[in-house]
Chain A
């Protein structure tokens, strides 16, 4: 089925003989508009014929041409999407072809909800999720943090919940984080894959999984310490595994210093995976590390609270003055809990 590009057929629908039997309906019949819209002739023509088709309830192949024409002019015209889907169903149209068309439109209109929702509906019909993973990956090449794209991937994995679909997902997240360690969507997806989508074969030893994830995030932090997503992920893993924050004191300490540690001549290039150090060109001290160190001490309680308060003061007055009032709140809360 050839897709009807606007440029393929420059004639308005009103000029096409095969559309003569349809009665186009004007937008403003009997209505005094608050703000009359000046449409392009092409858009007015297509939507006039769309209104005519909707009124008659026609669900034929030419309706697919018409709705595609409208969607290409205005991808957010949700009525056109809805009617297109109903027409596809009524015609028992080949959905694989429709998906190929959607491949093209998704990239053009990445930030439109309808494009993704329509795709979801189609895949629920075809029940062929595997090729979608590759397609989603290619969309993310264009816009690595697109909210709809990641949401769609998550939906796909959870809805079909097929071991084969999940099999390479962690590797996929790794690749995304290798490309951009600050991609918050990728970190969020990692948490979803590892901790919020059931236990898959090979991951039954949860302690092992937690150890693996903690090592992973430490390495990523050492590579780029000023990365909020990584520190949020660390907290998420510690919280879900109920690991005490204090287990991380030796790791966090060098990140709170003003300079990276001076390595002596006997140091090797092998990274200490237990406590990977900040890279030599890291911007230190790392604000998130100071925040974390404060949390460690707050949780220890007793005399450690004073250390926490010192850290919060340094944040309020020097390292993170935008959020001064927040840090002062933490100090007040801690002082009121001292007894």
Chain B
């Protein structure tokens, strides 16, 4: 019988075991439904472990083997799971996992870059599709920019066309949407701002208005929502905070209240973090909860690069660090 822990501190050992046990889930229904997210899930789990200082909790060779087993030779990219079609979301996660595990040498970088997948997915307007099915979204634009940057091939991108599309996604409230004209949403704000950061084009942002809009996401209970009059959700701790961090305005929200909110969403028996207190935990909210805590300077965590959502030291070592600012790490 698991002990019930307090939730006024981050229960690192519990969360580490939670992530390790993800592969052994016997909850069949929920598990089989997430095959299309498997690559993303491993990136989320690995990144959460890195932030908590336990990168070795997952076997390095196994994660690399899994990534390579998802290689789609025809498309020149990665699917979410062996035999799934390649998609830009899973391709980015695959690259991020390989970089984190220092195994980029397993990849034929030329093939990925020149292949049909990443660069050919850009439409004339500058937006990116996710795959040949054609769904377009600024999330995919971010994935392409991030992936090319990690591979050291950003020069292959038509930067002007890409930035011009992001500009079209800017709304009257200073925020950004999924496509030109779409409602401002914190997750889309993150992908647009992070992409602009990588492309050294943050002057496209109305800093004051957007950062005010982002700070307005904080609700009286300390949690953050994604757009006005919606519910708080732990994942916005990352989307909102990282955007504020990139724009050097992370002090514009109440850090203590947000830390309390994230901690209260932990599952003190089984581990993991949920979208809000009382709900079921999942690896998606776990990584974004600890990512938010890291940016807020929570003691004992590893520094996170908010642009790439990967350990800051890894990004810095590749010469990719941009001018973002998180809160100073508090002593334990």
Contact = CB atoms under 8 A, between A and B. Distances in A.
B83 interface: yes
Contacts of A155: 179
Interface in A228-272: 228-229, 232, 235-236, 239-240
A191 B257 contact: no
A185 interface: yes
Contacts of A235: 172-173
A35 B28 contact: no
B62 A240 contact: no
Interface residues of A, number: 60
Interface stretch (B99-107, B150-158, B212-220): B212-220
A229 B229 contact: yes
A154 B37 CA distance: 28
Contacts of A74: 32-33, 35-36
Contacts of A36: 23
Contacts of B251: 325
Contacts of A183: 229
A188 B82 contact: no
Interface residues of B, number: 59
Contacts of A37: 31-32, 35, 38
Interface string B22-49: 1111101101110111100010000000
A326 B230 contact: no
A239 B81 CA distance: 48
Contact of B32 (A39, A85, A117): A39
A79 B84 contact: yes
A33 B228 contact: no
B179 A151 contact: yes
A117 B252 contact: no
Interface of A: 25, 27-28, 31-40, 43-44, 51, 73-74, 76-79, 81-82, 85, 113-114, 117, 121, 145, 147, 150-151, 154-155, 158, 182-185, 188-189, 191-192, 196, 227-229, 232, 235-236, 239-240, 321-326, 329
Given A34-B23, A155-B179, A232-B228, 14 more contacts: A37-B32, A40-B29, A51-B83, A74-B33, A78-B36, A82-B85, A117-B134, A151-B182, A154-B182, A228-B229, A229-B229, A232-B173, A240-B172, A323-B253
Interface of B: 22-26, 28-29, 31-33, 35-38, 42, 62-63, 65-66, 69, 81-85, 87, 131-135, 137, 171-173, 177-179, 181-185, 211-212, 215-216, 218, 220, 227-230, 249, 251-254, 257
26 contacts: A27-B81, A32-B65, A34-B62, A34-B66, A35-B22, A35-B66, A43-B32, A44-B32, A74-B33, A76-B33, A78-B85, A79-B85, A81-B133, A82-B85, A113-B137, A117-B133, A151-B178, A154-B182, A184-B227, A189-B183, A191-B171, A196-B181, A322-B253, A322-B254, A323-B212, A326-B215
